[in-house]
Chain A
Amino acid sequence: IQVTQSPSSVSASVGDRVTITCRASQGISTWLGWYQQKPGKPPKLLIYAASSLQSGVPSRFSGSGSGTDFTLTINSLQPEDFATYYCQQANHFPRTFGQGTKVEIK
């Protein structure tokens, strides 16, 4: 199962709302996770099961979708949110990640 993210990069300002989409090549119910990665650091799980917020993750992050189309939304972008975000399909082997979306400062 392939997962395709868009856009590959987005420029935004502090306070903006940012939306990242992930499309699976076939239906994956809600078996999708979202990760944040900053340079030189390991990824961090933000969202699991498409819309469940991982403990400790700020509520400005939210996820939605099921089947083939998923969305990660960051409300009121904060300086610490500038990073690369990946989706991951979580039920089929091989596990697959999206190509990543880099959120950059405008």
Chain B
Amino acid sequence: EVQLLESGGGLVQPGGSLRVSCAASGFTFSNYAMAWVRQPPGKGLEWVSTISGNGDETYYTDSVRGRFTISRDNSKNTLYLQMNSLGADDTAVYFCAQQYYYDSGKYYISWGQGTLVTVSS
């Protein structure tokens, strides 16, 4: 059974930094691209970042590029998101998701329960 378990969320001051993690199990982690998707309280879903299976390729939404860094440690089956220069707009539940590739489409087949990041003074 696929399991994704996020951790590391919490309260951080504006301008601060935080690293969230996602521990994966139940599948061959290095075979799958992984993504972070966030959801501000009471709002919709927003894709944040994707990393390829071997970590060589990374992609970001414009609002976080240059501030956030996605990475992975395939030896530990763990995905990371390092978040710097955080602002109130970054307040959200951060989900990690396993990407499923089908006919050139990329879908999120498994999700963690999410970790809440709150940016506030």
Contacts and interface: CB of A to CB of B under 8 A. Distances in A.
Interface residues of B, number: 24
Nearest to B65: A94
A86 B108 CA distance: 12
A48 B104 contact: no
Interface stretch (B10-18, B71-79, B81-89, B110-118): B110-118
A interface residue count range (under 10 / 10 to 19 / 20 to 34 / 35 or more): 20 to 34
A43 B59 CA distance: 21
Contacts of A97: 44-47
Given A42-B95, A48-B102, A90 B44 contact: no
B44 to A, nearest CB: 5
Contact of B105 (A33, A35, A96): A33
Contacts, number: 69
A53 B50 CA distance: 24
A interface SS class: loop
B100 to A, nearest CB: 7
A96 B106 contact: no
A94 B61 contact: yes
B61 A48 contact: no
